[in-house]
Structure 1
């Protein structure tokens, strides 16, 4: 690991799966979220890993400003840095999928169309990893 993650984020590379696993440990501010994703990119670049499992079950505060930053600033930097198509599997608490505001903050499938990255939401970690593995194979 290149930098020590802050206390609100756990980052681990799983070489057996070639998956970067990030677990947000509490709610975060926008600057904390941005710092955390920068650390994820740093770690992913070290391993040339383009399959990410992002556990946001303890971080209930995805908002439009954070989603906008992800789509316009952060995600476009993945391909130049990692050299290929990146898949992000978001692990959410079931209640979040029923929250209209949280759902509206998560980019729609159209937001990923034609882009070198894709995100999908899951409530089951096994399904999220299976999706990442299938995307890596295909």
Structure 2
């Protein structure tokens, strides 16, 4: 095996039984890798008409502020529009990254997204993240 070939950044799978697009990040990406990764995510979501996403970012160690701003102000609203309904993103994070995210001065809780075309929430337990997405699915008729 050639060690010069990087591992894929993202692994996607659509869980039809749960109606959830699962994306697992393999490593902490350089910010220049993110646009292509999010294009892949967009293609997968549109293909499967998936508005409920589980993003496993436990292998990531930091959030790029520029990317976060772009996600919240451009990518997520555009994806909700493309998918024809509210987008829900559950982030599965490791303890250090979770602490970094929630202690950041710009952190916004899930309730603050009530008037947005998307909602995000952070979890350190995959079962809790999936349960949150399933609860949101019960409301998908309204949104």
Structure 1 length normalisation: TM-score?
Answer: 0.86
Equivalent in the alignment of 2:108: 108
Q: Distance in 2 between matches of 1:134 and 1:37?
A: 25
Question: Hey, what does 1:130 align to over in structure 2?
Answer: 131
Q: CA RMSD in A?
A: 1.8
Aligned-pair CA distance for 1:8:
1.1
Instruction: After TM superposition, give the deviation of residue 29 of structure 1 in Å.
Output: 1.6
Question: How many aligned positions are there?
Answer: 131
* Distance in 1, Cα, partners of 2:130 & 2:30: 27
Contact 1:63/1:105 (8 A) holds in 2: no
Whether contact under 8 Å (2:56, 2:92) holds in the other structure is yes
* CA distance 1:106–1:8, shift in 2 (3 Å): farther
User: What's the counterpart of residue 36 of structure 1?
Assistant: 37
How many angstroms does 1:49 deviate by?
0.8
Cα deviation digits, residues 106-137 of structure 1 (max 9, x gap)? 74137624111000000000110011011011
Q: Which runs of 5+ in 1 are unaligned?
A: 1-5
Structure index of larger Rg? 2
> 2:15·2:22 contact (CA, 8 Å) conserved in 1?
yes
Runs (4+) off by over 3 Å: none
State whether residues 62 and 97 of structure 2, in contact with CA within 8 Å, keep that contact through their aligned partners in structure 1: no
Compared CA separation, residues 66 and 50, structure 1 to 2 (3 A)? same
Deviations 1:37-79 (A, max 9, x none): 2211111111111000000000112121111111122112112
DSSP-derived class of the 1:26 partner:
coil
Per the normalisation by structure 2, the TM-score is 0.83
Gaps in structure 2 of 5+ consecutive residues: 1-6
